[in-house]
Amino acid sequence: MGKPTKQHRKKKFNYDQNRKKQWMKSKKMPTIECKQIRNAWDSTRSMQENMKEMGLATDPNKTLKVPKTKDFLITSIPGTSKKREKIEDSVPTKQYVALELEAEANIPQKRRLRLSEPETRYCIYMMERYGEDYKAMARDIKNYYQDTPKQIKAKIKAFKSIPEQYGEYLKSKGVTGTSS
């Protein structure tokens, strides 16, 4: 029985690609998404210099050094002392950037939790049909995913905690109650 022969296909040149344009695009500096850093950025300086001026870290391993056990052992033995590296403690000139970033990070975010439309319909159906009887909900034929009573209770609790969706349900329930 013979070995399968490898097929060597001839490389084809792609005429649709502009190689010069691709090369220029790869050399272009990336756009900075953060507006605070973008405003304080000095294009004549290197990335490390820019970040140091702003009071930001480029390498967390260098800024927050984890002490090695070997260093503890050497310094604990009397008569032996290792020269410690001199860390530059220069005050950043653009310190306002770090303060702005910190203030932005401390702003509490809005809750973005929203249930999908099928889940909201499921919760509404179960609440209208059974009220608070979660065991009966678990036995319902529309319980496709075979949720347990506790899982159904958690879904309905999540639905009630979203004011936009639950408020809309309450408004529609109030409208249907007055028109009957």
* Digit-coded pLDDT (tens) for 110-157: 777 788 999 999 999 999 999 999 999 999 999 999 999 999 999 999
How many structural domains comprise the chain? Answer: 2
Q: State whether 71 and 124 are in the same domain.
A: no
41 lies in some domain: yes
With respect to residue 2, please indicate whether it lies within any of the assigned structural domains.
Answer: no
In this structure, is residue 137 part of a structural domain? yes
Give residue 50's domain range: 31-82+92-103
**Judgement on whether residues 45 and 96 belong to the same structural domain of the protein:** yes
Residue of higher predicted confidence among 126 and 72: 126
Give the span between the Cα atoms of 140 and 134, in whole angstroms.
10
pLDDT digits (tens, 9 = 90+) for 5-42: 777 888 888 999 999 999 999 988 788 899 999 999 99
Predicted confidence band at 69 (pLDDT cuts at 50, 70, 90)? confident
In a domain, 5, yes or no: no
- Is 49 contained in some domain? yes
Residue 124 class from Cβ within 10 Å (0-12 exposed, 13-18 middle, 19+ buried)? middle
Count of other CB atoms within 10 angstroms of residue 101: 16
What DSSP designation does 38 have?
Answer: H
Domain boundary pick from 70, 103, 136:
103
pLDDT tens per residue across span 49-65: 999 999 899 898 888 88
Inside any domain, residue 57: yes
In a shared domain, residues 125 and 169 = yes
Q: Which long-range contacts (C-beta less than 8 Å, at least 24 apart) are formed by 149-155?
A: 152/126, 155/115, 155/119, 155/122, 155/123
Count CB-CB contacts under 10 A for residue 160.
Answer: 14
Output the pLDDT for position 179. Answer: 43
Query: From CA 151, how far away is CA 175, in angstroms rounded?
Result: 30
User: Is residue 97 domain-shared with residue 153, that is, in the same domain?
Assistant: no
What is the residue whose two structure tokens read 């001026």? Answer: 53
One domain, residues 54 and 97: yes
- Are residues 133 and 76 part of one domain? no
Residue 102 predicted with pLDDT over 90: yes
| Pairwise CA distance, residues 129 & 141, whole Å | 12
With respect to residue 52, please indicate whether it lies within any of the assigned structural domains.
Answer: yes
Among candidate residues 48, 69, 103, the one where a domain is terminated: 103
Question: What percent of the chain has pLDDT above 70?
Answer: 87
Residue 129 within a domain = yes
Supply the pTM of this predicted model: 0.48
